[in-house]
Amino acid sequence: MAVRPATEKRSRASAPTSATKKTGKTSNPAINYQVAEFDKDDELKAYRDMLLIRRFEEKAGQLYGMGLIGGFCHLYIGQEAVVVGIQKALRDGEDQVTTSYRDHGHMLACGMDPKGVMAELTGRQGGYSRGKGGSMHMFSREKQFFGGHGIVGAQVPIGAGLAFADKYRGTDNVSVVYFGDGAANQGQVYETFNMAQLWKLPVIFVIENNRYAMGTSVSRSSAQTDFAKRGESFNIPGEQVDGMDVRAVKAAADRAVEWARAGNGPYILEMQTYRYRGHSMSDPAKYRTKDEVQKMRDERDPIEQVRKRLVEKGWASEDDLKDIDKNVRAVVTEAADFASADAEPDPSELWTDILR
């Protein structure tokens, strides 16, 4: 299916430079189901990267239940294809990433050490913020990851600011800023849209539409539920993407990155995705049925889609995939053990990383 043009710019931006193909999906004609061509190595890496996020988040949920993680904890289970697919289109160590409080998966996709991430979750000195940031506030300049932000929508102008710095310095780097369907209704998001288009900033706005802003469904909170259109009054091109298929995400990310890197300004990607767990660990998610969640798991799970393709194409056996899972679980266990054994930060850390 071709990219749905809403403006001339959107149509021009949609010509992919990488190999793509169409799927047979037509359940929603507004969504772009065009997918990137993945070879064996691409599929295996996507499977492993998404599985790492899934197992890490499951372990984080366990540690939270044991009282080892304090404060808030927002899990990314179900949405793994979004960040893994987009990261495959970026230049590691150059393009910047900024996101919300649901940030563990983004950090892992950027290549941050699971031990450092888990240590920060548990408030230990070996964490990326030396135990002071917790789940929502981690950063890595080395990996070009700029948070992790606890205030809804606050990361959006920061992501545009990074893009402004890129343009000011004369680089062709791009900045990717993730936010949810709830944050899409924040006023500062539209201020950022305006400035980003006015100055033609190389920023990609990724709206992770997982259908619920905390416990409020999109249909109850948004008059315009096609978030890809949110930039039309600013002439920002955008498209809806099947965010449960890592190949579709990669294809859309390629188009957006090509557009932004060429100096054309911002681009909006609305990722139609779904979170299996509640908004946070304290959310029982009674606003939706168990059948709804199970249906998504059974029919649209992003990891299961890759697993099936690997087996059907003969690129991996069930034993091969079990070995990958075993190795991933070992990495996550090592991270949890490290975090549990690590020391808490010294009280003197209260006086570091502050402006005095």
Q: What stretches of the chain adopt beta strand conformation (E)?
A: 20-21, 31-32, 35-36, 96-98, 175-180, 203-209, 212-213, 216-217, 238-242, 267-272
Query: What local confidence, expressed as pLDDT, does residue 11 receive?
Result: 36
In Å, how far are 65, 105, 117, 177, 349 from 134, measured between CA atoms?
Answer: 16, 14, 9, 20, 14
Residue 102: name the closest of 51, 147, 50 by CA. Answer: 147
The residues near 34 (Cβ < 8 Å, ≥ 6 apart) are 1, 2, 3, 16, 20, 21, 22, 23, 248, 251, 252
- Please state whether beta strands 20-21 and 35-36 pair in parallel, antiparallel, or not at all (unpaired): antiparallel
Average pLDDT for runs of 10 along the chain of length 356? 36 45 59 86 97 96 89 89 97 94 92 95 92 89 91 93 97 96 88 97 95 80 85 95 96 97 97 83 77 87 96 97 97 96 91 84
Query: What local confidence, expressed as pLDDT, does residue 46 receive?
Result: 97
CATH topology of domain 8-18+29-336: Rossmann fold (3.40.50)
Q: Where are the domains of the chain?
A: 8-18+29-336
Cα separation, 135 vs 208, in Å, equals: 19
Cα separation, 215 vs 183, in Å, equals: 13
In Å, how far are 14, 74, 125, 157, 159 from 133, measured between CA atoms?
Answer: 39, 14, 11, 20, 19
Token couple for 185? 């209704």
Residues 206, 179 contacting (CB under 8 angstroms): yes
Query: 3-state DSSP: the chain helix, strand, coil percent, rounded to 5?
Result: 45, 10, 45
In Å, how far are 68, 342, 343 from 338, measured between CA atoms?
Answer: 13, 6, 10
Strand partners, 180: 208
Helix (H) or strand (E) holding 163: helix 155-169
